[in-house]
Structures are given as structure tokens and as C-alpha cells.
Amino acid sequence: MASSNFYLLSVLLIMIASGARATDPSPLQDFCVADKDSPVRVNGLPCKDVKDVKVDDFFLAADLDKPRDTTMSKVKSNVTLINVMKLAGLNTLGISMARIDYAPQGQNPPHTHPRATEILTVLEGSLYVGFVTSNLDNKFFSKLLNKGDVFVFPQGLIHFQFNPSHDKPAVAIAALSSQNPGAITISNAVFGSKPPIADDVLAKAFQVDKKVVDWLQAQFWEDNHN
């Protein structure tokens, strides 16, 4: 009986520990610069040999002080993400960042980051932002942000940013709690999946005619992330 209780307690502690580590695991050494050429496949990226690590593994001339082109995007925004694929030194450190440029009336459309919480700071202009909680409540939290304001989007929740100005651009910097936060843009995923989701399924889910679904699936769903 005692051994059974000990086993159950051990399982419970493992479950609690696993739940507490909801984002990237903590590093067990000073750094683990990503070796992108390694044939080894792990959850993340393997480490480069320490003797081969150079200072430029921790550096990127990203030009984040320069405006990005928003004219080519249908949603009139441009997300410049700096993650582990661009900066190898981020590997295992559990952080990444992005510059987001918004044209007048531009938006970063509703999306989620499956592996990261996001904290966003407005550098120029104003942004209307918001997120929606999970089922069953689906409560909507929104706020108009001005230059210097900060807002947090909890991990995994659908959120967006919109520039309400008709004549002024906006700029924001976001920090994310993962070296590879991922992004799922809702409209792209639902109506632009490859192969497409059956229109019967989407028509029922959105309570619309299948012709509406077919029209939406025929649109060009682009990614505003670079």
C-alpha cells in the first residue's frame, strides 16, 4: 500500500512539474548556440561545440530601427521576427522579439502564439489591441494603446493589433517568451489550409452557406511575418 501511494505521489509530482514548465525549458548551461547544420533532430536545436562559438552567434544586424514595407501586405502590416532561426545564440534561452510596422488602418490580424506569452510596447502612433479568453467564456479584453504603453497577450490566446489612424503609421516592439513562439493566423489556418478543410465542416462551424466558405477559401491568404 505504501509503495502504491509513493508511486501515485511520484506521478503527481511529475505532472505538476511538467505543467509548470509551460514554455521553453530553462537552460542547464551558460548557452547552447544552435547548430543548424547538425543532422541530429531534437525538440529545438542541438548545441554547437563551445570551442566553435563566436561572438557573432549572439549578434544580428537586424536594422530594427528602420521602417518596414507595409504596402505589399493585404492587412497593411509587416512583422519582422527575430527568433532562433535568425539568431543562433537564442537557442534554449526562451526569448525572441519582433518589430511590427502598421500602415494607417493596418492590422496584425487575429492570431495565436502556441508557445509564448507576448508583451508589446508601442513606439509610434496608437494601437487598438485585444485578446479573447478560452472556452467557455470567450471574454474579450481590449484597450487603445498610445506611444509608450505596454500590453500583455497571454500564451495561446487569440489576439490582434489594429492601427485606428487614417493617416499615421504605427510601430511596436514585441518580446515573446520562447525562442520559437510560432504564429497561427486564424483566417489563414481556417480558410487557407493545404489541403483545404471540407466546406461542409466550415459551413456548419460558422453557420454560413457553403458558397461563402468556398469564396473565402478561394482568396489568397498571405503571411505578414518576415
How far is Cα 164 from Cα 107, in angstroms, rounded to an integer?
A: 9
Contacts 24+ apart (CB under 8 A), 80-84: 80/226, 81/183, 81/225, 81/226, 83/179, 83/180, 83/181, 84/34, 84/44, 84/45, 84/179, 84/180
Does 56 have pLDDT greater than 70? yes
Residue 11, all three cell numbers: 506521478
pLDDT of residue 23: 61
How far is Cα 32 from Cα 220, in angstroms, rounded to an integer?
A: 39
Q: What H or E segment, with its residue span, contains residue 187? A: helix 186-191
How far is Cα 15 from Cα 9, in angstroms, rounded to an integer?
A: 10
159 is in an annotated binding site: yes
166 is in an annotated binding site: no
pTM, two decimal places: 0.86
pLDDT in tens, 92-113: 999 999 999 999 999 999 999 9
- Low-confidence winner among 33-37, 171-175, 209-213 (lowest mean pLDDT): 33-37
pLDDT of residue 10: 52
108 is in an annotated binding site: yes
Does 1 have pLDDT greater than 90? no
Domain chopping of the chain, boundaries? 21-182, 187-225
- Model confidence at 221, pLDDT cuts 50, 70, 90, reads confident
CA Rg, the chain, in Å? 21
pLDDT in tens, 16-44: 444 444 567 777 889 999 998 898 888 88
**Percent share of the chain, pLDDT over 70:** 90
138 is in an annotated binding site: no
Q: What is the mean pLDDT of the chain?
A: 91
CATH 3.40.50.80, domain 21-182, yes or no: no
Residues 161-176: what's their mean pLDDT?
98
Instruction: Answer positive or negative: Cα dihedral of 201, 206, 212, 214.
Output: negative
- Model confidence at 163, pLDDT cuts 50, 70, 90, reads very high
Does 76 have pLDDT greater than 50? yes
